[in-house]
A = this chain, B = another copy of it.
Amino acid sequence: MDKMFDLPSVTEMQAPEFKDFAKEMVDYIANYLENIRDRRVLPTVQPGYLRPLIPDEAPQQPDKWEDVMSDIERVIMPGVTHWHSPKFHAYFPTANSYPAIVADMLSGAIACIGFTWIASPACTELEVVMLDWLGKMLDLPKEFLACSGGQGGGVIQGTASEATLVALLGAKAKTMKRVKEEHPDWDDHTIVSKLVGYTSNQSHSSVERAGLLGGVRLRGLKADANLKLRGETLEKAIKEDLDAGLIPFYVVATLGTTNTCAFDRLDEIGPIANHYNVWVHVDAAYAGSAFICPEYRYLMKGIETADSFNFNPHKWMLVNFDCSAMWLKEPYWIVNAFNVDPLYLKHDMQGSAPDYRHWQIPLGRRFRALKLWFVLRLYGVDNLQAHIRRHCAFAKQFEALCVADERFEIFGEVQMGLACFKLKGSNELNEDLLRRINGRGNIHLVPSKVNDVYFLRMAVCSRFTEPADIDYSWKEVAAAADELLAAQKK
């Protein structure tokens, strides 16, 4: 090399040291997960706890990896909420499994950015086939599967929020095109101002947010007494809006709401939406995993009417975040809507395989299909079904314990791995109950509120959960109630 170049050298971790470090981390991970039940599920730290524990600035010279390892317990773990503890019952589960962790290690090593086919063909092609495997496991209509030879296919999104937004943007593009043909004199902003989408008032907050992000009106329709969105409600709203000169374009049907795991009546909503040219997006973020079990598929009746379907293997199917599976019957509405195609991203094979960058909000993407491949192969369908069925059984176990205590009542219907319950009595009483449960620190729950009734959600989250854990969690709830009722008597 020419001496004109002053070449600094980098002192960095070499392979032998990496092997020691990574293998120690493997042991740490196994130890963490196998003993996670022993940790306090919810940390006791106060906001700002971490800053004083570490320096104000990055070091100039490298630290030792052994010091980094030991700082995990000192700095990080005191502030970790342990989502994989059997004592964690908040939100919905997020997945974690050994096969997925190992797959992500490989993904980190290959570290390709699969925005186009040529950028790493394996990254795109494994994703196409894995979404077919998964679609078959759910018995999705073949129009959603790439292997059917049609236009449809699946893609891994980061989150259900993004899937909802992508579907909304596809629906918007499709409707804009149709309306422009009908009204060549209307400009884009005029059309956008007339668009109206629909969702249940029970749908996830990310649906409302997708409307805000997409700059379109979304109406929250009232769910029925069982918290399901019904077809007649949708049709009434569509007719009202058409009469008002608006343009219905999008409806989100939720299969398994976050509040109570209620299932919208897709079998009613879908045909009506199809009739009025309204894009049907199905958000089955949590509960969709259950459709790998035939006995739950009745809850997705009407799926053939959907334009897009989404669920999160990263919630309940043991594939680590992020892996949100989305299928589209007509992906070209999304591909065409946001196709900006600079020369540096063009390649000779365009058209013969999907360039997934057109299917999503970000440009870059990790090799996430590896996680699906490893989990599907190293569990097998039977064990994944057993995992789902176990969690459903645990929710029933909790329900039985709850109804046996006359102070309590179940709120709504226990569905999947979620049991909603409350003390008979006021919202304030139940707010107090939740404060006491989380304050005791032995289990962690979050509340919700429907029709002004405040209740507690007990989600089965951990793959380590055993029947004894459910008994334990129930006893914690009951003990907090004892405390609360004793305090009231004073």
For this chain, the copies found in one complex come to 2
Q: Nearest chain-B residue to A382 (Cβ)?
A: B60
Within 8 A of B (CB), among A253-305: 258-259
Within 8 A of B (CB), among A302-316: 314
B25 touches A76 (CB 8 A): no
B126 touches A344 (CB 8 A): no
Select A50's contact among B91, B121, B366, beta carbons within 8 Å.
Answer: B121
Any chain B CB within 8 A of the CB of A361?
yes
Residues of B within 8 A of A322 (CB): 362, 364, 366
Q: Nearest chain-B residue to A125 (Cβ)?
A: B50
Q: How far is the CB of A432 from chain B (nearest CB, A)?
A: 13
Any chain B CB within 8 A of the CB of A425?
no
B109 touches A447 (CB 8 A): no
Within 8 A of B (CB), among A118-133: 118-123, 125-126, 128-129, 132-133
A390 touches B7 (CB 8 A): yes
Q: Nearest chain-B residue to A351 (Cβ)?
A: B47
Q: Nearest chain-B residue to A32 (Cβ)?
A: B109
B467 touches A338 (CB 8 A): no
In the complex, A400→B3 CA distance in Å? 12
Q: How far is the CB of A356 from chain B (nearest CB, A)?
A: 13
Any chain B CB within 8 A of the CB of A175?
no
In the complex, A236→B486 CA distance in Å? 74
> What are the interface flags for A408-439 relative to B under an 8 Å C-beta threshold, 1 for contact and 0 otherwise?
00000000000000000000000000000000
A378 touches B68 (CB 8 A): yes
> What are the interface flags for A446-467 relative to B under an 8 Å C-beta threshold, 1 for contact and 0 otherwise?
1111000010010000010001
B106 touches A100 (CB 8 A): no
Q: How far is the CB of A116 from chain B (nearest CB, A)?
A: 10
Which of A155-163, A178-186, A221-229 has 4 or more CB atoms under 8 Å from chain B?
A155-163
> What are the interface flags for A78-114 relative to B under an 8 Å C-beta threshold, 1 for contact and 0 otherwise?
1111011000001100111111111011101111110
Q: How far is the CB of A173 from chain B (nearest CB, A)?
A: 9
A111 touches B125 (CB 8 A): no
A29 touches B105 (CB 8 A): yes
Within 8 A of B (CB), among A358-386: 361-364, 366, 370, 373-374, 376-383, 385-386
Residues of B within 8 A of A46 (CB): 349
Going nearest first, the 7 A-B pairs with the smallest beta carbon separation are A79-B122, A1-B467, A189-B193, A50-B125, A18-B98, A47-B352, A159-B362
What are 24 A-B pairs with beta-carbon distances under 8 A?
A: A1-B397, A1-B470, A5-B467, A8-B386, A10-B386, A12-B387, A21-B102, A25-B106, A50-B125, A57-B133, A61-B382, A65-B102, A68-B374, A83-B110, A91-B344, A101-B108, A108-B320, A192-B215, A204-B342, A206-B340, A213-B214, A258-B342, A344-B446, A361-B361
